[in-house]
Amino acid sequence: MDKQRSKDGRGDPSSRPRFVQIADEIRGQIATGALKEHDILPSERSLSEQYDVSRMTGRRALEALETEGLVYSADRRGRFVSPQRLKYNVSNMVSFVSTAQADDVDLKIEVVETVETVADGKLAALFEQPVGSPIIAYTRLFHSGGHPIFIETEYLVADRFPGFLHYDLRQSTTQILESSFATTASTGDIVIRMRGVKTDEAQLLSISNTHTVIELEQVIRDEAGVPFCFGHQVWRGEMAEFSAHAIVAGRSVGKV
């Protein structure tokens, strides 16, 4: 039924593993433009026929491209060429939404959940408020080109922004805060790290639960230095790149 292959596929000791060679060929096709953004890639089974390898080897080639970020996978539909990365300037906190729209990125925002809750220990410390003080929280899913790119959950001090949840959250919240609550983002502290995706996140982002994401946390402060917003974003790692502009402060005295 199956074609005959040498027992362990190690016919030529060409040093580089077979699956790497196959991945390289596909990578080339993406580079030359033979495969374009969101184009479907050959399936595991068709790859295995095409290159006369087992399905598992074809799969490994595709998985390699997936961890590289060149390819994304949609459960049981196939694998596709990843689009260009979205650029996110974390220093320009004015609004990711407005800057993205100015850059002609088609951005769609889906409100996943809105809740009125109270501050736990962590949030209380962040906001310099007592534990149990009212907090507004909302989770939104951001799409670009019809594909989910990141989940954002933001926490606000409720007393400061009464009736906030009645606004349409499918727009820049920074803008709502600025125009309706006279609160402007002035400084922010941001943390970026790479980590494994959690099950619920994977579902929302429609990626497999063995994938890696980029987690971005930020505390936003007003002109008086008072923190009023805590944001938490989970990005599909291959979909974005983050930039920042740093200014060396306190350049004065003997800092080692």
Q: Which residues bind DNA (CB under 7 A)?
A: 1-5, 7-10, 13, 17-20, 41, 43-46, 52-57, 60, 62, 73, 75-79, 208-210
Q: Which is nearer to DNA, 3 or 255 (CB)?
A: 3
Decide: 79 and 208 in contact? Cβ < 8 Å: no
Of 1, 182, 224, 247, the one binding a copy of itself by CB under 8 A: 247
Give yes or no for residue 255 binding a copy of itself (CB under 8 A): yes
Q: Which helix (H) or strand (E) holds 72?
A: strand 71-74
Structure token pair of residue 232: 């938490």
Q: Which is nearer to a copy of itself, 4 or 248 (CB)?
A: 248
Q: Which does 219 bind (CB under 5 to 8 A by kind): a copy of itself, DNA, none?
A: none
Of 35, 48, 63, 160, the one binding a copy of itself by CB under 8 A: 63
Binding string, 202-241, against a copy of itself, x = CB under 8 A?
-------xxxx-x----------------------xx-xx
Q: Which of 136, 33, 142 is nearest to 88 (CA)?
A: 142
**In the complex, minimum distance from the CB of residue 145 to DNA, in angstroms, rounded to a whole number:** 16
Q: Which is nearer to DNA, 44 or 152 (CB)?
A: 44
> What is the SS3 assignment for 76-109?
CCEEEECCCCEEEECCCCCCHHHHHHHCCCCEEE
Cα distance between residue 253 and residue 256, in whole Å: 9
Residues 160-199 that bind a copy of itself (CB under 8 A): 184-196
Instruction: For residue 145, count CB atoms less than 10 angstroms from its CB and return exposed for 0-12, middle for 13-18, buried for 19 or more.
Output: middle
Give yes or no for residue 100 binding a copy of itself (CB under 8 A): no
Q: Which does 43 bind (CB under 5 to 8 A by kind): DNA, a copy of itself, none?
A: DNA
Cα distance between residue 121 and residue 81, in whole Å: 43
Residues 108-167 that bind a copy of itself (CB under 8 A): none
3-class secondary-structure state, position 125 = helix
Q: Which does 5 bind (CB under 5 to 8 A by kind): DNA, a copy of itself, none?
A: DNA
Q: Which does 69 bind (CB under 5 to 8 A by kind): DNA, a copy of itself, none?
A: a copy of itself
Cα distance between residue 235 and residue 194, in whole Å: 9
Q: Which is nearer to a copy of itself, 46 or 243 (CB)?
A: 243
Decide: 128 and 160 in contact? Cβ < 8 Å: no
DSSP string, 185-209: --EEEEEEEEEEPPHHHHHHHT--T
Q: Which does 166 bind (CB under 5 to 8 A by kind): a copy of itself, DNA, none?
A: none
